[in-house]
Protein backbone atom coordinates (compact mmCIF):
# COMPACT_ATOMS: atom_id res chain seq x y z
CA UNK A 1 0.00 0.00 0.00
CA UNK A 2 1.18 3.45 -0.90
CA UNK A 3 1.53 6.01 1.92
CA UNK A 4 1.86 9.72 1.14
CA UNK A 5 2.23 12.76 3.43
CA UNK A 6 1.33 16.45 3.48
CA UNK A 7 3.35 19.34 4.90
CA UNK A 8 0.58 19.60 7.52
CA UNK A 9 1.56 16.11 8.73
CA UNK A 10 -1.47 14.18 7.50
CA UNK A 11 -0.89 10.83 5.87
CA UNK A 12 -2.98 8.95 3.35
CA UNK A 13 -2.74 5.23 2.65
CA UNK A 14 -4.40 3.96 -0.50
CA UNK A 15 -6.05 0.54 -0.66
CA UNK A 16 -7.80 0.17 -4.00
CA UNK A 17 -10.33 3.00 -4.31
CA UNK A 18 -10.37 3.74 -0.56
CA UNK A 19 -7.93 6.08 1.16
CA UNK A 20 -7.32 5.92 4.91
CA UNK A 21 -6.31 9.28 6.43
CA UNK A 22 -4.56 10.04 9.70
CA UNK A 23 -1.89 12.22 11.26
CA UNK A 24 1.79 11.40 11.44
CA UNK A 25 3.65 10.32 14.53
CA UNK A 26 5.37 13.72 14.43
CA UNK A 27 1.98 15.50 14.48
CA UNK A 28 0.65 13.52 17.43
CA UNK A 29 3.88 14.17 19.38
CA UNK A 30 3.47 17.92 18.77
CA UNK A 31 -0.16 17.82 19.92
CA UNK A 32 0.48 16.05 23.19
CA UNK A 33 -2.17 13.89 24.81
CA UNK A 34 -5.24 13.70 22.56
CA UNK A 35 -8.45 14.01 24.58
CA UNK A 36 -11.21 14.41 21.95
CA UNK A 37 -11.78 13.69 18.27
CA UNK A 38 -14.65 15.00 16.13
CA UNK A 39 -15.20 12.88 13.03
CA UNK A 40 -17.37 13.57 9.97
CA UNK A 41 -20.45 11.55 9.12
CA UNK A 42 -20.29 9.05 6.26
CA UNK A 43 -21.38 10.62 3.01
CA UNK A 44 -19.62 13.95 3.58
CA UNK A 45 -17.79 15.06 0.45
CA UNK A 46 -14.43 16.80 0.88
CA UNK A 47 -11.92 18.35 -1.48
CA UNK A 48 -8.17 18.18 -0.97
CA UNK A 49 -7.31 20.67 1.77
CA UNK A 50 -10.77 20.70 3.35
CA UNK A 51 -11.15 20.10 7.07
CA UNK A 52 -12.10 16.46 7.58
CA UNK A 53 -11.85 16.11 11.37
CA UNK A 54 -10.95 18.01 14.54
CA UNK A 55 -8.58 16.74 17.19
CA UNK A 56 -8.26 18.28 20.65
CA UNK A 57 -5.32 17.71 22.92
CA UNK A 58 -4.23 19.03 26.29
CA UNK A 59 -2.30 21.69 24.33
CA UNK A 60 -4.68 22.80 21.57
CA UNK A 61 -7.43 22.01 19.12
CA UNK A 62 -6.33 21.35 15.55
CA UNK A 63 -7.97 20.54 12.28
CA UNK A 64 -7.16 17.47 10.25
CA UNK A 65 -7.24 18.24 6.53
CA UNK A 66 -8.02 15.88 3.68
CA UNK A 67 -4.83 15.25 1.68
CA UNK A 68 -7.02 14.26 -1.28
CA UNK A 69 -10.67 14.69 -2.17
CA UNK A 70 -13.43 12.14 -1.89
CA UNK A 71 -16.45 10.97 0.06
CA UNK A 72 -16.23 9.84 3.67
CA UNK A 73 -17.16 6.17 3.91
CA UNK A 74 -16.13 5.60 7.53
CA UNK A 75 -14.93 7.44 10.62
CA UNK A 76 -12.76 5.56 13.11
CA UNK A 77 -15.11 4.92 16.02
CA UNK A 78 -12.18 3.47 18.00
CA UNK A 79 -10.53 6.92 18.30
CA UNK A 80 -13.84 8.58 19.12
CA UNK A 81 -14.21 6.10 22.01
CA UNK A 82 -10.51 6.27 23.02
CA UNK A 83 -8.80 9.42 21.65
CA UNK A 84 -5.45 8.40 23.18
CA UNK A 85 -5.26 5.74 20.45
CA UNK A 86 -4.12 8.59 18.17
CA UNK A 87 -1.05 9.02 20.40
CA UNK A 88 -0.32 5.31 20.69
CA UNK A 89 -0.96 4.27 17.08
CA UNK A 90 -0.90 7.45 14.98
CA UNK A 91 0.04 5.71 11.75
CA UNK A 92 -1.87 2.45 12.23
CA UNK A 93 -4.99 2.01 14.40
CA UNK A 94 -5.25 5.74 15.16
CA UNK A 95 -6.50 6.70 11.67
CA UNK A 96 -9.33 9.25 11.37
CA UNK A 97 -11.39 8.58 8.24
CA UNK A 98 -11.65 6.47 5.13
CA UNK A 99 -12.55 8.17 1.86
CA UNK A 100 -13.74 6.83 -1.46
CA UNK A 101 -11.26 8.80 -3.50
CA UNK A 102 -12.31 11.16 -6.26
CA UNK A 103 -9.02 11.44 -8.19
CA UNK A 104 -5.96 9.21 -7.68
CA UNK A 105 -3.82 11.80 -9.48
CA UNK A 106 -4.05 14.02 -6.36
CA UNK A 107 -1.67 11.58 -4.65
CA UNK A 108 1.09 12.74 -7.02
CA UNK A 109 1.23 16.13 -5.23
CA UNK A 110 2.02 14.47 -1.86
CA UNK A 111 5.36 13.38 -0.38
CA UNK A 112 6.52 9.79 -0.15
CA UNK A 113 8.16 8.51 3.06
CA UNK A 114 11.69 9.60 2.04
CA UNK A 115 10.56 13.11 1.10
CA UNK A 116 8.54 13.44 4.31
CA UNK A 117 11.50 12.30 6.44
CA UNK A 118 13.67 14.91 4.68
CA UNK A 119 10.98 17.55 5.28
CA UNK A 120 10.89 16.74 9.01
CA UNK A 121 14.64 17.41 9.23
CA UNK A 122 14.00 21.00 8.10
CA UNK A 123 11.64 21.73 11.01
Q: Residue 107: what pLDDT?
A: 94
Angstrom distance (rounded) from CA 120 to CA 46: 27
Strands (E), the chain: 2-5, 10-15, 18-23, 34-38, 45-46, 51-57, 61-65, 70-75, 97-101
Side-chain half-sphere CA neighbours of 59 within 13 A: 9
Other beta carbons within 10 Å of 108: 8
Domain locations along the chain: 2-102
Query: pLDDT for 24-66, tens place per residue?
Result: 999 999 999 999 999 999 999 999 999 999 999 999 899 999 9
For domain 2-102, give its CATH number from 2.40.50.100, 2.30.30.240, 3.40.50.1000, 3.30.565.10.
2.40.50.100
Residues whose CB falls within 8 Å of the CB of residue 2, separated by 6 or more in sequence, listed in order: 13, 14, 107
Amino acid sequence: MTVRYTKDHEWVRLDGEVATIGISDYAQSQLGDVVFVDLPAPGKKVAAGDEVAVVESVKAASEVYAPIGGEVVEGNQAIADDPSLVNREAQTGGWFVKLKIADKAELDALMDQAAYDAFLKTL
